[in-house]
Structure formats: structure tokens, C-alpha cells
Amino acid sequence: MWCMEAYPCGDPRLPHHCFPPKLVNPDELTKRTGALYYKLDLEDQVALSKRIAIMKLERNFTKEDTYTLDAQSTIDFKEKIAELFEETESDEDQARMILDGSAYYDVEDEVWIRIFCEYGDLIIIPKGTAYRMTTTPKNFPQIRPAMSRPLKPNFSPLLLRLLPFLLVFVLSPTLIEATFSTVFRQFLRQRYGEAVDKELSREDVGGGGSFGGGTHQAGQQTKRRPVILVHGITNNAGTFGSIQHFFRNNDYGDDEVYGTTYGICRDVLPLRQSGQLQQKEFAMPSIAQIRMIVLAVSSYTAGKVNIIAYSMGSPIARKAIMGGVCVDTNEDVGPPLSGLVHTFVGVAGANWGSFLCVLPFGSCNLVNGMACGSRFLNDINSRKRYEGDVIYTIYSTGDDKVGYRTCGRIASAIDGENGAFQKEGLSHDAVIFNTANLQYNLVTHNAP
């Protein structure tokens, strides 16, 4: 936070420090303007929910939405930014939480105080206080506003102008509201056709059906090798928003982190019912879809990709890379994709099955299921070192879904792996979401 120069000229998205620079701390901000600033941990869902509940009660907030401003996908982006930078004030308190990207909020005192807000930042602007907003040069914030009453024609003309760009926010901070970028979708349509674009983008899933692409120029390499996140069978791509955010906050661009949703996630049953695995059986289209995203990202970025595959996404991704005939349909999905994958990381992967598979039906069937010795598992474990140039696994002794050991061996291990990282006592979900830094280091530096 800092005091702005009195008469800023040029691009409003620049910092515009006064001279000499004068920083402002959160306490001083509150004393001078009444505005409040908080840094929240969006990964701690329990604490975040409590914070939001308290804020709603204290401020009488009853309305919340999410809107995204993206230079690539927002229609009339420059006009919208100009509108947002107009000075405005409300007759009710306002709250803004940044879910992705970054933005500047300016609050008026004797001079304007500029607040740099990024992922996890929450600001509360009291009623009657003049403020304005603009993006940083990154041109991508995703913002969750909260206010004390629903939007009405006499409430805020500025917010009403944003109505076409409001998105419903699902109350789970690890979810993202997104799809592939406009540029990447254009590439998919031109290279592979409308059907592939539709299949990979997964707009039918709603928020979080897919992500990635950025403004990259197709056929050129990115600064970092792109990473594809492959979700488990009970999730969609958006479930791994916190992992995507971690990479984005550590020097990966939107054109370097990708995800798609395979399968019909809304029809998947809960993971455990009476201690037995109950999902639908795997399907050859899911494997074909993972193959397509690998081929597409590799072509789009002109090089190899890295893959992080979670839970049952790990054996599915391995079969997608392996290629060949599917054990359930006898269809040949194509040749191996091993040459397109540099680093493969399996996290809490059911690579040898799941200890929950007691009875051989559903996802525990003996053909394409997770039962010990199923034809599918025998197939993907019949060869070694096809998953990529470098292979790692991350797993836990406390995994409550895949388990630690099954079939007489570590359930998540991959024969021929370059390294295995065992965590003690972490649950299935915890080993997935609490090892983001390790996952990042393995694909970025090939070191823990």
C-alpha cells in the first residue's frame, strides 16, 4: 500500500507512487480511510468459511458473486477497465476478495491510497468512501465481491454494468471458475475441430471444466515446460484450483498450467459407501480424452509436457501415455505418447489398486477396475518406464481411499520410478493438496 502521486498520468495499471515514495501499513489505512485489509489463506477452507461467516454477520452482507476480468476473454475489456477506474462510492459497505490474479484498489483520503491486492487478499471499503479499481499489467483478476443487499437499478451503476460478467461462486476455495483461454480454444478448433474443443473445454461441467492456454502463440515454446493436471475419478479439473494457483503464484503462466475434465463427473457416486468403492467403471473415452489434451498442449507449446496425475487419474493417465489396446473394449487408442512427456508425477495414485476394493464390482471389477490383479492394472503395470523421461510418486501411510499397501505392495508405487516420496499419516486428500510445493519442485527442478 502506498500514497499515489497527486496527478497520475499514463497507464492507470502502473503503480503511480508519489515522490518520494510513501508506504502505508494496514493500520494506517484503517485510521485514514476506514478501509480494512486482510491476508487470507484460501487453502484453509475451515478458517476461510469462519472468516466469511463472521464478516457477513458483522457487515450484514447478503449478496456475493464472482467476476473475472481477462484481457483475452472479457468483451470490451479496455472499456470495462475504464469504467471500473471511475471514482465511485456506495451507501453500503463493500468487500472484495481476490481469487486469482492481481488488481489495484484505490481508496480516497486527502490523497489516493493504492492497495495492491493479489490471491487471498480481502479488503472491506466502508460506505461513503470513494474508491476505484484497475488491474495490474497482468490484466487478469478474479474477484469475489460481497455487499449487503442484492443488486438493484438504484444500487450501483458500476456494478450493474458488470452483470454480464458475474459468475456464480461455489463456496469451496479450491474450486476455480474457468475454461480454456480464447486463444487456446481457437487453436483447438482450427487444429482438431469443434468436437475436440467441446470435449476438452467441458463447458457442460460448469465452473472449472478446464483451464489453461493464456495468450500464447501456438507453435512456440513457453518459458517453462507446461504442466497438465489430471484429476481423480470423483473430481473435475476445477477441484485442483489450489494447485493451479500455487503454480501461477510461482512464476508459471496461464499458458503453462492445464487441466480438463474427463468422464461425466456429475454422475459419479460418492467414493465410499459402506467401505466399498462405488464409482462408475472406467471408460475408454476418458483415456482418449487425456491423450488428446497431451497431444494438444504439446503441439500448442512445441515441446514435451509434464503431467501430475492424482488418485485414480494416475492409472488413467498412465494408460493414456502407454497407448495400445484397452482391455475392456479391445479398441486401440493409438501409439505410446512417452516421447511427449518429460516428467510424470503420480500423487496418491491407485497404481496397483485400492485397499477399499473388497468386492469385485463397480470400480472394483476385475476387468477395468481397481481390484487387485484386474486386467486393466495388469496391463498398465506390464511395462516399465513408459510414463515419461522422469517418474516420481508421492503417497502417504495414512491414505484412507487408495490405501498405503494393496496387492502385497505400496499401492501408489510405479515400477522403474526415479523417486518415491512417502508422507506419514496424511489422508488421501491431504497428501494431494498439502504437497503442492513438492509437486512443483519435482516438475520444475526434478528435485524435492
Per-domain boundaries in the chain: 2-167, 182-445
Q: Are 71 and 105 in contact (CB under 8 A)?
A: no
Going residue by residue through the chain, which has 448 residues, state the pLDDT in tens, using 9 for 90 and above: 999 988 777 778 888 888 788 899 988 999 999 999 888 887 776 666 666 766 666 666 666 666 676 666 667 777 777 888 888 888 888 888 888 788 889 999 889 999 998 888 888 898 899 999 888 876 656 565 655 443 333 333 333 333 232 222 222 333 344 689 999 999 999 999 999 999 999 988 766 789 999 999 999 999 999 999 999 877 889 888 889 989 999 999 999 999 999 974 433 333 333 333 444 445 567 899 999 999 999 999 999 999 999 999 999 999 999 999 999 888 888 999 999 999 999 999 999 999 888 777 777 889 988 889 999 999 999 999 999 999 999 999 999 989 999 989 999 999 999 999 999 999 999 999 999 999 999 999 998 8
**Nearest residue to 131 (alpha-carbon basis) of 94, 97, 162:** 94
Per-residue pLDDT reduced to its tens digit, 377-404? 999 999 999 999 999 999 999 999 899 9
Decide: pTM greater than 0.85.
Answer: no
Which of 3.40.800.10, 3.30.465.10, 2.60.120.10, 3.90.1150.10 would CATH assign to domain 2-167? 2.60.120.10
Tell me whether residue 398 is exposed, middle or buried, using C-beta atoms within 10 angstroms of its C-beta: 0 to 12, 13 to 18, 19 or more.
middle
What pLDDT does residue 66 have?
64
Residue 55, amino acid? M
Other CB atoms within 10 A of residue 270 CB: 8
The Cα-based distances of 274 to 17, 212, 356, 402 in angstroms read: 61, 38, 10, 15
The domain 182-445 having CATH identifier 3.30.565.10: the answer here is no
What pLDDT does residue 168 have?
27
* Angle between the N-to-C axes of helices 194-201 and 182-192, in degrees from 0 to 180, rounded to the nearest 10: 140
CA atoms of 281 and 320, how far apart (whole Å):
16
What pLDDT does residue 82 have?
80
Q: Which three cell numbers stand for residue 96?
A: 472484495
